[in-house]
Structure 1
């Protein structure tokens, strides 16, 4: 599955402009079909909706070299969004998402039960994410999205074993940061009320904090950060 992740993401992103170019003859609404309403916006970019899709997650950073057997963690995300259009080109779009992320690899460290990790190894990170995106329609039904994102870590599982996020009992050799922040950017096409899009999300905060190098054999693993490709579909409702 992981060998198909990036080809699938690339094909989906490349299809966005092509799909949107086919909307003209079908009679689907264009930006010029919307007049100013009571909210003062002449854009169909004012509304709300639901979305969800596939996530290919990994990690990056200086300590990435200390992980062996690195791989893509294939998972999903889902949530809701609202959007306010300033005009027929620009709008702002806050979202509330549940995103399951993580990474695969082998750092040779004990897991939450103190067992040595050998062979396949994966870490699952469950986040509640709030991106706030500036949306620009560079084509009538195709837009670019970019903006900051804040994420709250709610659960961690290492090789299927749940562990604490904080390192408050000094049991573990390292702890996980409960907060992440970063930048999201991508493309989206509209087909009537339906949406299809793809984006990359780069986390700027370290995933792991408070590492005790004495317990990890002086092997640094703290400087790793989230990175994820997301492909999604959604349904929007205009106001």
Structure 2
């Protein structure tokens, strides 16, 4: 009897695990970023056109209910800003590039259409100034290695697995540790438009 009981539990548990795994949706995505700095004292550095770069990574959608899911992601994100152009000079970009890991709550309003929001942690992997004549590496000790942020977005997932997404991410951490009392408070602000494919 005990053997039968434990066998039933094992079969039920294995079946539930397989079913849960089959509902997971792994995907890839990529798109374009438009990034700037936000905060006090950054107006003199930012170009209104923002820096244009890209994002590329992977997503995992974990269904909780029919209309609610949790979606962790990991992706490369080109951020930073364009330095103000003077005397019709070519663009000079202040590049801050991250590996970002958001964990988003995803709510489907109707079939396919969803809203998303959640926290994000970013890990700085590269910092440099890229000008028309040279690229200059920056001392990463002057920058915060970790960037805490919050993201909100909207998207649409088609039946075949293709999805479109638009998202804004606002940094909570200072990008540059410039000391207290100098009126300089710079945080990342990124609008991203992405396209991806889910393999479920």
Return the TM-score normalized by structure 2. Answer: 0.80
Find the aligned partners of 1:128 and 1:152 in 2 and give their Cα distance: 5
**Does residue 200 of structure 2 align to residue 202 of structure 1?**
no
Q: Contact between 1:70 and 1:105, CA under 8 Å: does it hold in 2?
A: no
Give the corresponding residue for 2:10. none
Give the corresponding residue for 1:59. 37
RMSD between superposed Cα atoms in Å: 2.6
| Aligned with 1:164 (options 126, 133, 139) | 139
**CA drift at 1:59:** 1.1
Q: Highest Rg: 1 or 2?
A: 2
Find the aligned partners of 2:31 and 2:156 in 1 and give their Cα distance: 15
Find the aligned partners of 1:69 and 1:98 in 2 and give their Cα distance: 23
Find the aligned partners of 2:140 and 2:111 in 1 and give their Cα distance: 44
| Aligned with 2:186 (options 224, 227, 231) | 224
Q: Contact between 1:64 and 1:221, CA under 8 Å: does it hold in 2?
A: no
List 4+ stretches of structure 1 deviating above 4 A: 39-42
**Does residue 163 of structure 2 align to residue 188 of structure 1?**
no
Give the corresponding residue for 1:28. none
Aligned residue runs from structure 1 range 1-239, under 5 A? 38-39=16-17, 46-67=24-45, 69-106=47-84, 120-159=91-130, 160-166=135-141, 175-191=142-158, 192-211=160-179, 220=182, 222-238=184-200
**CA drift at 1:101:** 0.7
**CA drift at 1:105:** 2.1
**CA drift at 1:71:** 3.3
Find the aligned partners of 1:68 and 1:237 in 2 and give their Cα distance: 39
**CA drift at 1:107:** 11
C-alpha distance 45-149 of structure 1, shift in aligned 2 (>3 A): farther
SS of aligned partner of 2:42 = helix
Aligned residue pairs: how many?
Answer: 178
Find the aligned partners of 1:212 and 1:161 in 2 and give their Cα distance: 26
**Cα displacement string for residues 97-131 of structure 1 (whole angstroms, at most 9, x for unaligned residues):** 110111012499xxxxxxxxx87532001101000
Structure 1 unaligned runs (5+)?
1-36, 109-117, 167-174, 214-219
**CA drift at 1:41:** 7.2
**CA drift at 1:158:** 1.2
